[in-house]
Structure 1
Amino acid sequence: MIIADSQFYIYGASHYGQALTAYLVGAGLRPRAILDRAPKAAQYFGVPCLPFPEHNFETHYPVIVTILGYSGVESSLHEAGFSEVIDTLSAFELFPPALKLLNECGVLWMQAPRSKQVDETQCQALLHLLSDNKSRNTFQSIVSHRLNPSRAHYPLPEQYEMYFPEDILQLYQYDELRVLDVGAFDGDTFAGFFQRYPEALKGYTALEASAKNIQKFLARLDSMGIAQPNLVSIHRLAVGLPEGQKLKVEENASATIVSVVEPHEQVEPDCLVDSVNLGNMMAEVQCNVLKMDIEGADYDALCQGANYIREYTPTLALSLYHKPEDLWRIPLLIESYAPGRYHYYVRQEGHWLLETQFYAVPKDMLKQQ
């Protein structure tokens, strides 16, 4: 595709849309506008951000899509009259330098220079521990994309419900399932367990720092006809942070961030949350499955759970994408707790190398049942 200065549009004003705009403007190719369903800024790099589809656009110009994981984007552009729509993966191939800008945008695993996004020695150590070819291939794609971002290295996400891969043998296969869900969000993972293991599921303990998410979880339980706390116990607590200190909760559309309240900082009571030691909570509920996704406190929380993991080797479903080093240091931490006692798997369950999940399945499942 050939584009000319001011004779094309970009669709999507988020991180990749911004990175692509920055690259193209620097190359002397300024988009006419950045289109977005709900633009959060009036302009970026001098390019106006306009709400789609409210404006009248010159649809004979091409539009480059910078969004993945949302169905209907391209069809909505065609319906608006655009005849030439370039999808996001094609944009990766056409403008590879923009991916390098994206990889250092400061979001989650992209918050460090590329030189700090991979520890090749540690990654090689982990690669040899992974238990199947899919894990090894996925892990190598992630590492390669961090080092040299390109369409060829970009791992497409799996097409199943998150946390429920169908190709990992014995995952969650307990006679009695006792799940500790840390970062339970609105109960979506609980619903997945309840749908798949209604007879085996004997206890589900959910920790969530967001009061709004807890209300959504309770509404979900009500809609499912499940009486809490007969099966489910929900607690507004945080892990992986110092106990005994005031903690504040900051909520946005995609994440809940918990941090220590600074001296003299004024925080509304509704925004305060208590912290609990993960190891103590695991012991209290005697979980045999730990699922955790807590926006960057994951490693510190797992340090609290060291003794329980060593003794009981519960099945683990953990996130590896919040911090650059989580990709290798979390799996290697688990191996240091229980050397040779787990099968390890890596799956890519979201776009943009987000939702990278790590599964540790005890090699001796019978002992755990």
Structure 2
Amino acid sequence: MILGLPSDKRVVQWPNESLRFCELFLGENTHLKYIMGRNIYTEALCNLIKVDGIVDDFTTETNYKGLPIIKVQDIPPKSMVLNASGGRPLSAKYKLDSVGLSNLDYFAFYQITRLALPEVRFNEGFEHEYLDNKQKYAWIYDLLNDEKSKEQFLKLINFRFSHDIVHLNGFTQKEDIQYFEDFLDLKQKGETFIDVGAYDGFTSKEFIKRCPNYEQVFAFEPDSTNFKKCSESLAAFPNVSCMPIGLSNRKGILQFDVSGSASKISDSGTVKIAVDRLDDVLKCKPTFIKMDIEGGESAAIEGATQTILDNHPRLAISVYHSAGDFWRIPHQILSIRSDYDIKLRHYTESIYETVMFFLPKQ
């Protein structure tokens, strides 16, 4: 087994102050109790625990589910704050620590208390998946092409397994450079980019910025609201085609859950969208394909098998949406073509935005 990967059992020696925080936060005492952030975690916590308010520095609203919303600067001294900031937990912790407030992150609270709370989003079922496939995680670790990839891989797997936020230390918000690493060696001239999950066109514009003399850009976005934004954003650029469909492993109509940048194919979705195979809708020769489609990446890769086989493009694939994607995605791609080097980069201080890069071997 690779040194640094989790063992057979989750062994976390939670600090006494973390254990004491959970005990006090759940007990009847004189401490004022607040939850920081508003999301699915906050809603579930409010349904289980009596708290005195919500902390949110980024809103003008003053009430959430009958509770007052306050800023960090207005939290009374000696209060307790449960940090449910799912997106930027490290920044939230630093802010709370800086003003001397007792605080604990949701990830540790969830693990210590074992209350009936939502699992960490995009980490559902990870513990069992990892234990069932430890050798696969060791396999992909060995294949990673540089030390930074290996270091970030170990940190992410250990956080996902233990829920201990200490493994996230060192990660920062870098979504502005996501998908565009120097090792891609993108050329200013002659590149053709496939943007799968284009959202509002931001990533395609970043590609154009880096490759101004590109050949073509194809932006796939099935959500009608997002597609409109994407089309408007990219309208001024030549040789850009915005495609109002999703990519998958077959042509058809699927249900779609509309949720902004997190919109995804879902059996419970209330909107219907058209999907098709990349192999069937485009006959170009892509040099770079990016996919970030909320868990639909594997099906889209299957539908792009011939494109990958024939053209050997660079690939940037999100692997954080589903338990097992850290090894299943590379296994799938290498079964199409084995002549890829693999790197991994992570772009937030939480569980979101992990990208695996597949670079054609020279």
TM range (shorter): 0.7 to 0.9
Paired residue for 1:236? 244
1: CA distance, partners of 2:115 / 2:294: 20
Identical aligned residues as a percent: 22
Q: CA deviation at 1:39?
A: 9.1
8 Å CA contact 1:177–1:289 kept in 2: the answer is yes
2: CA distance, partners of 1:304 / 1:343: 22
2:215 is paired with a residue whose SS is strand
The change in CA–CA distance for 1:343 and 1:214 in structure 2 (over 3 A counts) is: same
Paired residue for 2:321? 322
Q: CA deviation at 1:34?
A: 3.1
2: CA distance, partners of 1:40 / 1:296: 34
Mapping of residues 32-111 of structure 1, within 5 Å: 32-36=52-56, 37=59, 42=65, 49-52=67-70, 59-62=76-79, 64=81, 65-67=83-85, 68-69=87-88, 83-85=99-101, 91-92=104-105, 96-99=108-111, 105-106=118-119, 108-111=121-124
Give the AA of the match of 2:248. G
| 1:192 equivalenced with 2:206 (yes/no) | yes
Q: Which of residues 5, 11, 19 is equivalent to 2:36?
A: 11
2: CA distance, partners of 1:142 / 1:16: 20
2:356 is paired with a residue whose SS is strand
Deviation readout 1:16-54 (Å, 9 max, x if unpaired): 55687799x5xxxx6433334469962xxxxx643345x
Paired residue for 2:277? 277
Q: CA deviation at 1:308?
A: 2.3
Q: CA deviation at 1:159?
A: 3.2
1:309 is paired with a residue whose SS is helix
Paired residue for 2:10? none
Q: CA deviation at 1:319?
A: 0.6
2: CA distance, partners of 1:296 / 1:232: 26
The change in CA–CA distance for 1:292 and 1:142 in structure 2 (over 3 A counts) is: same
1: CA distance, partners of 2:94 / 2:314: 41
Paired residue for 2:5? none
Paired residue for 1:367? none
2: CA distance, partners of 1:257 / 1:315: 24
2: CA distance, partners of 1:103 / 1:157: 30
Q: Report the aligned-residue RMSD.
A: 3.8
Paired residue for 2:286? 287
Give the AA of the match of 2:257. E
1:186 is paired with a residue whose SS is coil
Q: Which of residues 347, 352, 355 is equivalent to 2:353?
A: 355
1: CA distance, partners of 2:226 / 2:140: 34
Give the AA of the match of 1:279. D
TM-score after normalising by structure 1: 0.75
Paired residue for 2:9? none
The change in CA–CA distance for 1:31 and 1:61 in structure 2 (over 3 A counts) is: farther
Q: CA deviation at 1:320?
A: 0.3
2: CA distance, partners of 1:21 / 1:233: 46
| 1:163 equivalenced with 2:159 (yes/no) | no
Structure 2 runs not aligned, ≥5 long = 1-16
Deviation readout 1:196-243 (Å, 9 max, x if unpaired): 2212x2210011011111111233235xxx14xx32100111111542
Paired residue for 1:337? 336
Aligned length: 329
Structure 1 runs not aligned, ≥5 long = 43-47, 365-369
Give the AA of the match of 1:51. I
1:347 is paired with a residue whose SS is strand
Deviation readout 1:66-90 (Å, 9 max, x if unpaired): 3243999799999xxx95446xxx7
Deviation readout 1:164-185 (Å, 9 max, x if unpaired): 454x424434741101111100
Paired residue for 1:45? none
2:230 is paired with a residue whose SS is helix
8 Å CA contact 1:346–1:356 kept in 2: the answer is yes
2: CA distance, partners of 1:279 / 1:103: 44
1:169 is paired with a residue whose SS is helix
8 Å CA contact 1:109–1:321 kept in 2: the answer is yes
8 Å CA contact 1:104–1:110 kept in 2: the answer is no
Paired residue for 2:155? 141
2: CA distance, partners of 1:254 / 1:39: 26
